[in-house]
Amino acid sequence: MRIAIYPGTFDPLTNGHLDIIERVCKLGISDRLIIAVRENLRKSPLLSLVERLALIYKLTSDFDQVEVDICTGLLVEYARSKYASMIIRGLRNGMDFNYEMEMAVINQSLAPDIETLFIPSKAENIYVSSSAVKEITKLGGSAGSMAPAAVIEYLKTKL
């Protein structure tokens, strides 16, 4: 059984995240893909972990191999507890690359048996971020090209 973890803050899930999930499923590199929703010590979230999990659960129900979970503590320890051999991360630009490369190398030193796989973003999602979705929605704009309608509707009730 090949198990992959796609970790992130997902505050909220965007079209960029959904695209990565869809493409990993199509690649056929894993039997189970666990979307691991977590706090990020560098960010203060708008949505609770449970709200984020519920939105992801609703929007990924068509993917048979996808599961959604809340994860705490060291990522590699969580991955080990799930018997995962892969960590998936999306890359939009050089800034992502620098940050992700650092995390991947640290995770590699902590758990050499777990590989980080980078998936390049689609061109249309290069400027998509959870922060932009929240800011545009808060200021009354339309972020419909950046996130699923269910996410935007939910955000409107929160903002």
Q: Residue 71 corresponds to which amino acid? A: C
Q: How far is CA 78 from CA 23, 86, 111, 145, 155, in A?
A: 23, 12, 11, 33, 29
Among 106, 113, 156, 158, which residue interacts with ligand PNS (rule: CB under 6 A)? 106
* Main-chain phi, psi angles of 70, to 5 degrees: -100, 135
**Cβ contact 14:56 at 8 Å:** no
Query: Which of 46, 39, 70, 73 shows the shortest CA–CA distance to 57?
Result: 70
Which residue, 64 or 101, has its beta carbon nearer to ligand PNS? Answer: 101
Among 4, 5, 6, 7, which residue interacts with ligand PNS (rule: CB under 6 A)? 7
Among 27, 50, 70, 74, which residue interacts with ligand PNS (rule: CB under 6 A)? 74
DSSP H or E run through 35: strand 32-37
Q: How far is the CB of 102 from ligand PNS (least distance, A)?
A: 7
Q: Catalytic amino acids?
A: 17, 43, 92, 130
What is the x/- site pattern for ligand PNS, positions 127-156, by CB under 6 A? Answer: ------------------------------
- Contact status: 52 vs ligand PNS (CB under 6 A): no
> Could you list the residues that contact ligand PNS (CB under 6 A)?
7-9, 38, 40, 74-75, 103, 106-107
